[in-house]
């Protein structure tokens, strides 16, 4: 008989926490999960899901324009922002219910409130204490603001999902995927967008060709990209906001949205009191099994700042439950994880960038293709699809694949299986393409880049 109230207590009902709770409970562990906001965490409520719904909405602008080349006559159109947000909210509420049913159906108890650890086995939630043999920290991350004068007038992506009105002019600050995605979302919905990034080129960490191609395509769409630019001051005006830049210039807009990074949401949880180790940004330090230096306390997802992707948090949470309650020690695999940026056009990527590959391997072969998709021969749109394969010269393995173009995220999922299975370039070449598709280009590239 356990001396604790629970076998497994999870802090945070986001993607990783829900999966861990559900699997642990299904294995017979007495499980509780505490959440102070909403079930599903960032992804379901203010991340992947609502963002993708807004991406779909923004893409119709292109569809309407492209239709003329195919003989359609499309009249005047406008965006009903309030209806879009209401429909989005309805879907999110449905998903909240799905997550509740998943947890309760598996036998996990949901506790609503704000939690913190008072010792290594005790969790306090709004004044009530619970004890647990094992604890999982799955509290995710939270947008981070820099210390810029007037920053209180800015919003983050969290608030962007709940704006009362669609702005006419928007400034997006940041160079990561959230900033890039929202720049093209707002632009597609008819907003005049300026994106500011303090570096030479956005999407640091992605393949250089991908970064350059997307910048070119966004500029074709008249998104105002300004690199080596940073905000020195934000002021509220009767008509919106005024932004002063570090070069002395000024911009005016209706809103300014910061997407300059997210930090692990670990402050105030009492983790240090329980003996956990955090790094300089507050991420919980864990081993390959997601175990902290306190043997019975684990952490998964964005609060560990390893690979901050929803499917990765789910895999990490599942692995913890398998390790603890199914006698199946499981390590999540962080190698060759595919990802997408749902910009317009999309990015899909898996494996190493060219820069990473050249550092890791003695010699690599590079294959590139840039072409106008069949659709745009009639639409008239000046958009190029870009694809790139990186191959280890010695083994012939494809160690990186990168794409910019329509449905890149959908296409890269299939390619990621091949990369995960160590497929060779010869095997790619032996695969018959599906014609006519853009994806067939990935199995027809034969000419190496010098």
Query: What tens digit of pLDDT does each residue of 299-338 get?
Result: 999 999 999 999 999 999 999 999 999 999 999 999 999 9
Position 450 scores a pLDDT of 86
How far is the C-alpha of 140 from the C-alpha of 162, rounded, in Å? 21
Res. 1: pLDDT tops 60? no
Q: How confident is the model at residue 2 (pLDDT cuts 50, 70, 90)?
A: confident
Write down the mean pLDDT value for the chain: 97
Element (H, E) at 44: helix 41-46
Position 401 scores a pLDDT of 98
Residue 278 forms beta bridges with which residues? 284
Phi-psi region of 203 (alpha: psi -120 to 50; beta: other; left: phi over 0): left
Give the orientation angle of helix 177-188 with respect to helix 48-67, to 10 degrees: 40
Tens of pLDDT, residue by residue over 337-375, are: 999 999 999 999 999 999 999 999 999 999 999 999 999
Q: Looking at residues 266-273, what average pLDDT do you find? A: 94
Pairing of strands 169-173, 192-197: parallel
Position 97 scores a pLDDT of 96
Q: What is the pTM of this model?
A: 0.96
Pairing of strands 6-11, 31-35: parallel
Cβ neighbours for 220, distance < 8 A, ≥ 6 positions apart: 382, 383
Question: Is 376 part of the annotated catalytic residue set?
Answer: no
Position 447 scores a pLDDT of 93
Tens of pLDDT, residue by residue over 132-147, are: 999 999 999 999 999 9
pLDDT cut 70: percent of the chain above it: 100
How far is the C-alpha of 140 from the C-alpha of 361, rounded, in Å? 34
Which of these, 384, 82, 86, lies nearest to 213 by C-alpha position?
A: 384
Q: Catalogue all structural domains in the chain, each as residue range(s) with its CATH number.
A: 6-142+263-325 (3.50.50.60), 151-260 (3.50.50.60), 339-443 (3.30.390.30)
Q: Looking at residues 274-295, what average pLDDT do you find? A: 97
Q: How confident is the model at residue 123 (pLDDT cuts 50, 70, 90)?
A: very high
Structure tokens at 251: 């911009």
């Amino acid at each position: 008989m356990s001396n604790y109230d629970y076998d497994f207590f999870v802090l945070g009902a986001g993607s990783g926490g829900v999966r861990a709770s559900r699997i642990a409970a299904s294995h017979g562990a007495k499980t509780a999960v505490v959440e102070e906001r909403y079930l599903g965490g960032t992804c379901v409520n203010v991340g992947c899901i609502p963002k993708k719904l807004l991406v779909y909405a923004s893409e119709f602008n292109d569809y309407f324009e492209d239709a003329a080349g195919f003989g359609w006559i499309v009249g005047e159109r406008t965006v009903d922002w309030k209806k879009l947000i209401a429909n989005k909210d309805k879907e999110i509420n449905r998903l909240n219910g799905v997550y509740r049913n998943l947890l309760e159906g598996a036998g996990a108890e949901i506790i609503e409130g704000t939690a913190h650890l008072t010792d290594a086995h005790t969790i306090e939630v709004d004044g009530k204490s619970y004890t647990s043999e094992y604890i999982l920290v799955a509290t995710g991350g939270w947008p981070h603001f820099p210390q810029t004068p007037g920053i209180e007038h800015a919003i983050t992506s969290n608030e962007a999902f709940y704006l009362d009105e669609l702005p006419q002019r928007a400034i997006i600050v940041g160079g990561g995927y959230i900033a890039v995605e929202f720049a093209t979302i707002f632009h597609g919905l008819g907003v005049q967008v300026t994106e500011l990034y303090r570096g030479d080129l956005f999407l640091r960490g992605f393949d250089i060709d991908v970064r350059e191609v997307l910048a070119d395509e966004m500029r074709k769409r008249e998104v105002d990209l300004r690199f080596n630019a940073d905000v020195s001051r934000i002021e509220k005006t009767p008509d919106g906001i005024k932004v002063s830049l570090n070069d002395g210039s000024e911009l005016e807009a209706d809103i300014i949205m910061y997407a300059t990074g997210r930090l692990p949401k670990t402050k105030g949880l009492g983790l240090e009191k329980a003996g956990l180790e955090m790094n300089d940004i507050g991420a919980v330090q864990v081993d390959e099994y997601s175990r902290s230096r306190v043997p019975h306390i684990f952490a998964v997802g964005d609060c560990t700042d390893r690979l901050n992707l929803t499917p990765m948090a789910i895999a990490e949470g599942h692995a913890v439950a398998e390790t603890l309650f199914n006698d199946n020690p499981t390590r999540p695999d962080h190698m060759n994880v595919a990802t997408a940026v749902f910009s317009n056009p999309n990015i899909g990527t898996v494996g190493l960038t060219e820069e990473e590959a050249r550092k890791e391997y003695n010699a690599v072969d590079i294959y590139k293709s840039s072409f106008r998709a069949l659709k745009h021969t009639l639409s008239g749109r000046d958009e190029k699809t870009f694809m790139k394969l990186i191959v280890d010269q010695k083994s012939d393995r494809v160690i990186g694949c990168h794409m910019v173009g329509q449905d890149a995220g959908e296409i890269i999922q299939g390619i990621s299986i091949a990369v995960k299975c160590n497929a060779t370039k010869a095997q790619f070449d032996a695969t018959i393409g599906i014609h006519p598709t853009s994806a067939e280009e990935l199995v027809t590239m034969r000419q190496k880049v010098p």
